[in-house]
Every structure is written in C-alpha cells, then in structure tokens.
Amino acid sequence: MFYITEVEDYVRVEPKLFGLSTREAVENQLQETYRDYYDREIGRVIVVIEVLEIGDGVIIPGDGAVYYNSKFKLLAWKPELQELVYGSVSEITNFGAFMDLGVMRGMIHISQTMNDYVSFSKSNTLVGKASKRSLKDGDLCLARIVAISHKGGSPKIGLTMRQPGLGKLEWIKEEQVKKERDAKKAAKEEAGAAKGKTKGKKEKK
C-alpha cells in the first residue's frame, strides 16, 4: 500500500553541502539519506515529496555537520498482508519464482504458482502437469501477499497465485472468457428448458 507520511526529525547535513542554501542542503541530504531506505513502520521510501519546515541549525562539538530540525513528507510503499500486487516475473528457480513489484521483490513458492502439480523445466520455466500452463521470466502477474518477514535489512514478501482471479494475466483472461462462455451456455439451456415447459403446457390444453 502506498502512503504519504509526515516526519519530523533532525537532518544531519554534511559539510560537502554547505555551499548550498539551507533548504537545498536539507533537501539534498534527505534525498541521499532516504535513497533505498526501508523501515518497518514507514515502509520502502520512494521519494521525499516536500520539505515543510526547517528549524535553526545545531552544531555538535566534534562533528563537522549541522543538524536541522525539519518536517518533511515521504512517499513510501509498505507491504500489507492480503494486499493484491501486480508485477513481472524477474527470476525462475527450482523452488519457485521471484516477482518484481516495482518497489520491492516478492517470492512465490512453486506450490503457490498455480492450482496444478508444477515442475521446473530445462527451459527455465515452471510448468503445470495437467494444465500445461507455464510461468517464465517477464510474465505479468497478479498475486496476493500472504507472508511478510522483517528479518534482515529488507523484508521478505511471500506471495500466492492459487486464489480465484490471481495468476498470470493470460490465465486470468482465459478464466474470464471461460466463465462468460459457461454463463451464456447456462442461460441458453435455461431458456430452452423454459421454452419446453411452455410448449408442454400448450399441448395439454
């Protein structure tokens, strides 16, 4: 889920930025500090949107930098359990697939890729035994977050595509076409049955 978060914190501006105006120095320092930044509460920071306030600078003896108490807005993406995510397959392994979600990566265990017995083929794809469906690098998919682990510097995101409406976009389209076809067939049969009943009533008369 994407969030805009307002933060108040002391920004340590390094001496190399002293030639800039205070605002420019603080903005540049924030962009550097929050590049590839992840926090369990905030999420993965995408960009510093705006610096709202900058207080007076404070110098700490023995530290050549200046600290400015500042308020600023961040745009971040924080993974949430049960959230639907869209992405592309970036790597296939013998135990599953990794999906590029744009901001982070998620992992789909081989058992969660499709409702079928799945095997890893020599062509570096995951193939369903009965359905013959295949998953390969670059495939666009819709998945759901079912696990989040915060061990280490970056979270590990577990995904599934074994729920209705999920999977490779081609599979989802195939299912939609099949549902529409089945619905039309059922409606046609129902109309035929209703017509037969009406005809039967007329003959009785």
Question: Quick one: pLDDT at residue 192?
Answer: 77
Give the count of domains, the chain. 2
Instruction: Give the model confidence (pLDDT) of 13-22 as tens digits.
Output: 999 999 999 9
CA distance 24 to 21: 5
Decide: 105 and 74 in contact? Cβ < 8 Å.
Answer: no
Instruction: Give the model confidence (pLDDT) of 137-159 as tens digits.
Output: 999 999 999 999 988 777 899 99
Decide: 99 and 149 in contact? Cβ < 8 Å.
Answer: no
CA distance 138 to 142: 13
Is 205 within the bounds of a domain? no
Phi, psi of 62 (to 5 degrees): 90, -5
Instruction: Give the model confidence (pLDDT) of 97-137 as tens digits.
Output: 999 999 999 999 999 999 999 999 989 999 999 999 999 99
Indicate whether 127 and 51 sit together in one domain: no
Closest CA to 44 of 12, 10, 85, 15: 85
How far is CA 94 from its chain centroid? 22
Specify the DSSP class assigned to residue 111. G
Q: What's the predicted TM-score (pTM) here?
A: 0.80
Residue 24 structural domain: 2-77
The enclosing domain of 19 has a CATH number of 3.30.1490.120
Instruction: Give the model confidence (pLDDT) of 41-71 as tens digits.
Output: 999 999 999 999 999 999 999 898 999 999 9
Indicate whether 167 and 88 sit together in one domain: yes
Indicate whether 108 and 145 sit together in one domain: yes
The enclosing domain of 144 has a CATH number of 2.40.50.140
CA distance 109 to 95: 6
